[in-house]
Amino acid sequence: MHIPDGFLDLPTAATTGALAVTGVGAALWQAKRSLPQRKVPLLGVTAAFVFAAQMLNFPVAAGTSGHLVGGVLAAVLLGPAPAVIVMTCVLVLQCFLFQDGGASALGANIFNMGIIGVIAGYVVYAATRRLAGGLHGVLLGAAFAGWCSTVLAAICCAGELALSGRVKWSLALPAMGGVHMLIGLGEGIITALVLAAVAKARPELLETTAETPNTGQVVTLGLIAALGLAVFVSPFASEWPDGLEKVAGKLGFEHFATDKPLLPAPMTDYGIAGVEGAWVTPLAGIIGTLAAFALAWLLARMLTPKKAA
Amino acid sequence: MRHDFLDRYSRQDSPVHRLSAEAKLVCVLAVIVLTVAAPLSALPYFAGLACVLATVALAAKIPMGYLGMRLLWMEPFVLGVGLLTLFQPGGWTIFTGIVVKSTLSLVTMVLLANTTPFAEILRVMKRARMPGLLVTTLALMYRYLFVLVDEAERMQRARLCRTFERRRWIGWKTLATVAGQLFVRSTERAERIYAAMLARGWK
Q: Which domains, and CATH codes, for chain A?
A: 10-234+279-308 (1.10.1760.20)
Q: What is the mean pLDDT of residues A40-51?
A: 90
Q: Is A43 in contact with B133 (Cβ distance < 8 A)?
A: yes
pLDDT at position A88: 94
Best B6, B87, B103 member to test A by mutation, with max A CBs in 10 Å, is B87
Q: Which residue has the higher pLDDT, A244 or A92?
A: A92
User: Is the alpha carbon torsion for B160, B161, B166, B167 positive or negative?
Assistant: negative
Whether the predicted pLDDT of A264 surpasses 50: no
- Tell me the pLDDT band of A280, cut-offs 50, 70 and 90: low
pLDDT at position A211: 55
pLDDT at position A168: 80
Give A107: exposed, middle or buried? Use CB within 10 Å, 0-12, 13-18, 19+.
buried
pLDDT, tens digit (0-9, with 9 covering 90-100), for B11-44: 778 888 888 888 899 999 999 999 988 887 788 8
pLDDT at position A246: 46
Q: How far is CA A2 from the centre of its chain?
A: 11
CB A170 within 8 A of CB A133: no
CA neighbours closer than 13 Å in the CB half-sphere of residue B65: 0
CB A113 within 8 A of CB A153: yes
Cα gap B182→B151, rounded to integer Å: 8
Q: Is B172 in contact with A193 (Cβ distance < 8 A)?
A: yes
Q: What is the mean pLDDT of residues A285-307?
A: 78
Question: Taking the C-alpha atoms of A246, A249, A250 and A252 in order, what is their torsion angle to the nearest 10 degrees?
Answer: 150
Gap from B31 CA to chain A (nearest CA, Å): 10
Q: In this complex, which of B84, B187, B190 lies closest to A167 when CB atoms are compared?
A: B84
Give the percent of chain B with pLDDT over 70: 93
Of the given ranges (A154-158, A229-233, A278-282), which has the lowest mean pLDDT? Answer: A278-282
Whether the predicted pLDDT of B51 surpasses 50: yes
Q: Is B190 in contact with A41 (Cβ distance < 8 A)?
A: yes
Q: What is the mean pLDDT of residues A232-261?
A: 48
If you average pLDDT over each of A163-167, A258-262, B52-56, B61-65, which comes out highest? B52-56
Domain locations in chain B as residue ranges: 15-124, 131-199
Q: In this complex, which of B106, B145, B175 lies closest to A58 when CB atoms are compared?
A: B175
Cα gap B40→B53, rounded to integer Å: 19
Q: Is B112 in contact with A96 (Cβ distance < 8 A)?
A: yes
Q: What is the mean pLDDT of residues B141-150?
A: 87
Q: What is the mean pLDDT of residues A300-309?
A: 68
- Tell me the pLDDT band of A237, cut-offs 50, 70 and 90: low
Whether the predicted pLDDT of A114 surpasses 80: yes
3-state helix, strand, coil in chain A (%, to 5): 70, 0, 25
Calculate the average pLDDT of chain B.
84
Query: Amino acid letter at A159?
Result: G
Give A6: exposed, middle or buried? Use CB within 10 Å, 0-12, 13-18, 19+.
buried
Of the given ranges (A61-70, A243-252, B43-52), which has the lowest mean pLDDT? Answer: A243-252
pLDDT at position A16: 92
Whether the predicted pLDDT of A265 surpasses 80: no
Whether the predicted pLDDT of A242 surpasses 60: no
Q: In this complex, which of B36, B77, B137 lies closest to A47 when CB atoms are compared?
A: B137
- Tell me the pLDDT band of A64, cut-offs 50, 70 and 90: low
pLDDT at position B171: 76
pLDDT at position A274: 45
Q: Measured over all CA atoms, what is the biggest interatomic distance in chain A, rounded to whole angstroms? A: 68
pLDDT at position B69: 85
Whether the predicted pLDDT of A8 surpasses 90: no
- Tell me the pLDDT band of B65, cut-offs 50, 70 and 90: confident
- Tell me the pLDDT band of A278, cut-offs 50, 70 and 90: low
pLDDT, tens digit (0-9, with 9 covering 90-100), for B154-164: 888 888 888 66
Q: What are phi and psi of A58, to 5 degrees?
A: -90, 120
Nearest CA to A137 out of A83, A195, A182 is that of: A195
Whether the predicted pLDDT of B90 surpasses 50: yes
Residues in A closer than 8 angstroms to B26, CB to CB, are: none
Q: What is the mean pLDDT of residues B42-53?
A: 89
Q: What is the mean pLDDT of residues A265-275?
A: 44
Residue of A nearest to B7 (CA): A97
Of the given ranges (A1-10, A76-85, B78-87), which has the lowest mean pLDDT? Answer: B78-87
Q: Chain B 79-118, CB below 8 Å of chain A: which residues?
A: 81, 84-94, 97-102, 105-106, 109-110, 112-113, 118
Size of interface A-B (CB pairs under 8 A): 255
pLDDT at position A24: 94
Q: Is A97 in contact with B181 (Cβ distance < 8 A)?
A: no
Gap from A120 CA to chain B (nearest CA, Å): 22
